[in-house]
Structure 1
Amino acid sequence: MARPVALVTGARRGIGKAIALALAEAGFDVAVNDVQASPELDGVVAMLQDLGAQAMSSIADLSDITRHEQWLAAVEETLGPVDCLVNNAGVSVMSRGDLLDVTPESYDRCLQVNTRGTFFLMQAFAKSALKRGASASPHPRSIITITSSNAVAASPQRSEYCVSKAGLSMATTLFSLRLAEEGVSVYEVQPGLIETEMTAPSKARYDALMAGGLTAMQRWGRPEDVAIAVRSLAIGSFPYSVGQAIRVDGGLLVNKY
């Protein structure tokens, strides 16, 4: 039997890279995406191949929705039909600061990439999957979208990011309802404070907040923590769940006092 195929967006480093490796270990062939070619992305491909997976780099700009169908077709031509789409790519704010100082440029950038781009990539994947039919693949088919704890918890210094992730969370719910009877499972994963290059500048601040009880588990999450959740969803471990939001946040969003 052919191996299942996954496309992981934003997989050059951090959470996306960890997800790609976890899926390869679970038996997937994997296309790893970034907006531009780089030695880092090539290194991820090599690591996937070392794990026995067929792997390819997939260079595409998520915000360019006119090329989504071509993007998916290129992956399928090399690896085969995509069974699992992992929406991990995204951008943060151009600069943290007062909500009253947010610029249209920063707002539009977050919405263009995080919300609009991902929405239409999910749409393109869903159309392709439905066109093939439920019997076309023996493997579970899924869309797994990485949002953020900021889809729920407000962070006024990153307001445009919060808006984009809250919108993406709703988009994931909507796709889960549309595709539930079509054999495509749709899930959301909400990471909390995950230690990556992106979060490094704010580490000292959140270290202090964690020590004060911000999270139930007083450690940063690791990209591998998110990857474990994604792998479980991708292999079909939750067959009777629709649109579930899985929190990987060490208890950040648990109501507590």
Structure 2
Amino acid sequence: MTVKTRQVAFITGGARGIGFEIAAKLAQAGFDIALNDYQDSATLQASVARLEGWGVNAVAIPGDVADISLHDRMLARAENALGPLTTFVNNAGVSVTSRGDLLDVTPESYDRCQAVNARATFFLCQAFARRLLARTCQPELHYSLIVVSSSNASAASINRGEYCVSKAGAAMVAKLFAARLAQAGVQVFDIQPGLIVTEMTQPSLAMYQQRVDEGLTLLPELGTPAQIGTIVTTLASGGMPYLTGQVISADGGMLVPRF
């Protein structure tokens, strides 16, 4: 790909875990990468350096996605460094302050989940869409908007209800922007990971593994961030044509109804 025809992806929450593996798989496919994380850090800079090792251009774009006033500036910085964005991956997310009874959920924990998982997702999609529609898209490139929500967008977990509500909101954001951007040829997908081995899920991994061993998932294993990265890269590369607005349940068959 020439400089003018390169795929350029912006990934939020990309310094580690699922976000970094998405960035890594995209970089290996030839995408230039704008990598966002909550704040600048040695981890973020090291992640950018690793991406550059695959021969692509990469730039760190630190910033709290919950601060909507930063959104357009972050996208502008990315485009100034790499060129027009073709791909946006809403991956940043937070979990609950503490798991517990639904009757004990605090407004602070609820608002935190909403601010990052739902509100920021909506307005980042909006900022990306506005930029995309304001210019002429190049026919040789593929344009996509991907929301990484959660299986909890559909499945109720009453010990973290505020998280479920926020991820259900994120899932609806994907549907809305799929409808809005279809005429522009932009594919939009909602990836709903299930039980994935990450830093965020570390405290619950033993319980998750036990549930898997008991048959919770059809595939008898926990998922990995690299698997999510492969899924995103397939979608962002145009590997699933004539689709938009779909939910991709990356959960090992966990939510398949059985009786």
Q: Same fold (TM over 0.5)?
A: yes
Q: In structure 1, the residue corresponding to 2:176 is in which secondary structure?
A: helix
Unaligned residue ranges in structure 1 (runs of 5+): none
TM-score (norm. length: structure 2):
0.97
Which residue does the alignment assign to 2:253?
Answer: 251
1:133: Cα distance to partner? 2.5
Which residue does the alignment assign to 1:102?
Answer: 105
Out of 198-207 and 96-105, give the one that drifted further: 198-207
36, 39, 50: which is aligned to 2:39?
36
Q: What do the CA deviations read for 1:52-111 (whole angstroms, capped 9, x no partner)?
A: 010011111111112211111110000011100000001100000000000000000000
Q: Distance in 1 between matches of 2:258 and 2:228?
A: 23
Q: In structure 2, the residue corresponding to 1:134 is in which secondary structure?
A: coil
Q: Distance in 2 between matches of 1:211 and 1:71?
A: 43
Superposed, 1:144-223 pairs within 5 Å as: 144-223=146-225
Q: Distance in 2 between matches of 1:197 and 1:55?
A: 23
Residue type at the aligned position of 1:100: L
1:8: Cα distance to partner? 0.5
Could you say what the CA RMSD is over the residues aligned between the two structures, in angstroms? 0.9
1:166: Cα distance to partner? 0.3
TM-score (norm. length: structure 1):
0.98
1:39: Cα distance to partner? 1.1
1:199: Cα distance to partner? 0.7
Number of positions where the alignment pairs a residue of Structure 1 with one of Structure 2 = 256
1:200: Cα distance to partner? 1.0
130, 135, 144: which is aligned to 1:132?
135
Post-superposition, which runs of at least 4 consecutive aligned residues in structure 1 deviate over 3 A? none
Q: In structure 1, the residue corresponding to 2:134 is in which secondary structure?
A: helix
Q: Distance in 2 between matches of 1:33 and 1:81?
A: 16
Q: CA contact under 8 A between 1:134 and 1:183: conserved in structure 2?
A: no
Q: Distance in 1 between matches of 2:154 and 2:170?
A: 11
Unaligned residue ranges in structure 2 (runs of 5+): none
Which residue does the alignment assign to 2:87?
Answer: 84
1:239: Cα distance to partner? 2.3
Q: CA contact under 8 A between 1:11 and 1:17: conserved in structure 2?
A: yes
Q: Distance in 1 between matches of 2:144 and 2:63?
A: 21
Q: In structure 1, the residue corresponding to 2:23 is in which secondary structure?
A: helix
Q: What do the CA deviations read for 1:11-42 (whole angstroms, capped 9, x no partner)?
A: 11100000000000011000110011111111
Which residue does the alignment assign to 1:67?
Answer: 70
1:134: Cα distance to partner? 2.8
